């Protein structure tokens, strides 16, 4: 149903046959956040800009018929940092900027409600698990409950987070006093703890490693890592996986390229995972990578031309076989829709090598 409805507002101008433009907006080109709740309920948050200046937060809502502009209140600030939701009546957005506190607003299904500000400068990710259960991550960790915001002591700064449930949250980041020391944390509903990665999963100290994405899919946890050498050389992308309580590491330069640092892995519902990779060493030419449940890969460039497409986010629409991305194709910025086909998935016994859908 969504494909038919979106096709009415989609165009290949600025998109292509694989990725159709469904909503155009310059505010969604960089730093956008997509919150899909279903095929008739999708939020897109962005930032209005003029040169290097941020002018305000934007929000667009797909209601099953059209994209409607529905900006959050000005108290959020001049930019959007993160957004998330647990239901159509519980959508949260947190602002960015240079202020020592962060503005917060919540959509209750009928109107925006300004929430209490968070006394932190650093905001990297959010997990919205209920009206009175919201986690905010960055150099500090904050938890919103009926009593308001409270700071949670953590030995790490968090870059990315993923929640399988309210008592199963995974975070990736670094030690608060040593950014070269990458850490993984887990919350069991009562206590946060550091989960050891084991030996030899990450490159040695001559590389600067950064965990850039995390996904929790039932018993599996996926973490994307970019490793930058200390001397001039290409970035090495690495995929970490935890299953049955054990970690494994996979080098994926040939099959996925440089990980996009603003996009989390996206489970496909079939035991596989989608990723936003690249086809150039600098990480700008975006490509859709897929790893099947048995470890076979496909890699499909978003655009056939060098410099033709750069995406920043990737997400799946719940209950469908469709993906959404934000960024630009050629010179047109906005939201792009991809209909997953069987050819997009790596075959059950296919080789671990790039192929196009």
DSSP per position, 305-338 = STTSEEEEEEEE-TTSSEEEEEEEETTEEEEEEE
All residue ranges of the chain with pLDDT < 70 are 1-14, 200, 343-357
Nearest CA to 39 out of 15, 27, 22 is that of: 22
Q: What is the DSSP code string of 188-231?
A: -SS-EEE----TTSS--TTEEEEEEEEEEETTEEEEEEEEEESS
- With the C-alpha atoms ordered 183, 121, 135, 268, is the resulting torsion angle positive or negative? negative
Quote the pLDDT of residue 350: 31
Helix (H/G/I), strand (E/B), else coil: 178: strand
Give the contacts of 232 (CB within 8 A, at least 6 positions apart): none
Give whole-number Cα distances, 341 to 54, 104, 127, 255, 278, in Å.
Answer: 38, 38, 30, 19, 20
Whether residue 173 contacts residue 182, with contact meaning beta carbons closer than 8 Å, is answered with: yes
Q: What is the DSSP code string of 279-301?
A: SSTTS-SEEEEEE-TTS-EEEEE
> Which two tokens mark 197?
């990665």
273-278 sheet: strands from edge to edge = 266-267, 273-278, 286-291, 297-301
Distance CA 105, CA 120 (A): 16
| Structure letter (DSSP) for residue 78 | S
Quote the pLDDT of residue 13: 61
- Residue-wise pLDDT for 259-298, tens only, equals 999 999 999 999 999 999 999 877 789 999 999 999 999 9
Quote the pLDDT of residue 282: 78
Whether residue 209 contacts residue 227, with contact meaning beta carbons closer than 8 Å, is answered with: yes
When computed from its CA atoms, the radius of gyration of the chain, rounded to whole angstroms, is: 19
CB atoms within 10 A of CB 243: 13
Whether residue 116 contacts residue 74, with contact meaning beta carbons closer than 8 Å, is answered with: no
Helix (H/G/I), strand (E/B), else coil: 237: strand
Distance CA 72, CA 105 (A): 7
Whether residue 183 contacts residue 235, with contact meaning beta carbons closer than 8 Å, is answered with: no
Nearest CA to 263 out of 311, 220, 222 is that of: 311
Report the residue count for the chain.
357
> Which two tokens mark 86?
């647990």
H helix runs in the chain, sequence order: 2-7, 253-256
Whether residue 330 contacts residue 275, with contact meaning beta carbons closer than 8 Å, is answered with: no
Whether residue 311 contacts residue 336, with contact meaning beta carbons closer than 8 Å, is answered with: yes
- Residue-wise pLDDT for 51-65, tens only, equals 888 889 999 999 999
Q: Exposure of 65 by Cβ count < 10 A (0-12 exposed, 13-18 middle, 19+ buried)? A: exposed
Provide the whole-model pTM: 0.91
Distance CA 51, CA 37 (A): 32
Quote the pLDDT of residue 230: 80
């Amino acid at each position: 149903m969504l494909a038919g409805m979106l096709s009415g507002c989609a165009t290949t101008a600025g998109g292509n046959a694989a990725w159709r433009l469904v909503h155009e907006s310059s505010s969604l080109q960089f730093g956008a956040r997509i919150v899909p709740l279903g095929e008739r309920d999708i939020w897109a948050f962005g930032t209005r800009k003029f040169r290097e200046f941020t002018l305000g937060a934007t929000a667009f809502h797909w209601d099953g018929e059209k994209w409607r502009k529905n900006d959050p209140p000005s108290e959020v600030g001049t930019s959007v940092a993160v957004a998330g939701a647990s239901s159509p009546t519980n959508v949260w957005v947190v602002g960015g900027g240079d202020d020592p506190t962060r503005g917060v607003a919540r959509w209750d299904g009928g109107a925006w409600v300004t929430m209490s500000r968070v006394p932190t400068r650093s905001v990297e990710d959010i997990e919205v698990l209920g009206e009175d259960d919201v986690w905010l991550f960055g150099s500090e960790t904050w938890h919103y409950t009926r009593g308001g915001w409270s700071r949670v002591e953590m030995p790490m700064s968090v870059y990315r987070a993923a929640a399988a449930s309210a008592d199963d949250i995974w975070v990736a980041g670094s030690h608060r006093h040593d950014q070269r020391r990458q850490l993984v944390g887990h919350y069991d509903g009562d206590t946060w703890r550091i989960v050891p990665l084991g030996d030899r999963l990450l490159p040695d100290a001559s590389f600067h490693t950064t965990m850039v994405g995390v996904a929790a899919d039932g018993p599996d946890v996926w973490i994307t890592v970019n490793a930058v050498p200390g001397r001039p050389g290409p970035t090495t992308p690495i995929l970490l996986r935890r299953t049955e309580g054990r970690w494994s590491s996979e080098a994926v330069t040939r099959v996925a390229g440089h990980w996009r640092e603003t996009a989390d892995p996206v489970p496909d519902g079939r035991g596989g995972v989608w990723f936003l990779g690249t086809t150039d060493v600098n990480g700008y030419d975006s490509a859709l990578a897929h790893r099947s449940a048995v470890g076979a890969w496909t890699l499909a460039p978003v655009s056939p031309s060098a410099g033709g497409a750069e995406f920043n986010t990737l997400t799946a629409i719940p209950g469908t076989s469709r993906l959404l991305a934000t960024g630009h194709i050629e010179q047109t910025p906005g939201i792009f829709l991809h209909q997953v086909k069987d050819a997009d998935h790596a075959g059950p016994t296919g080789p671990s090598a790039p192929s196009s859908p």
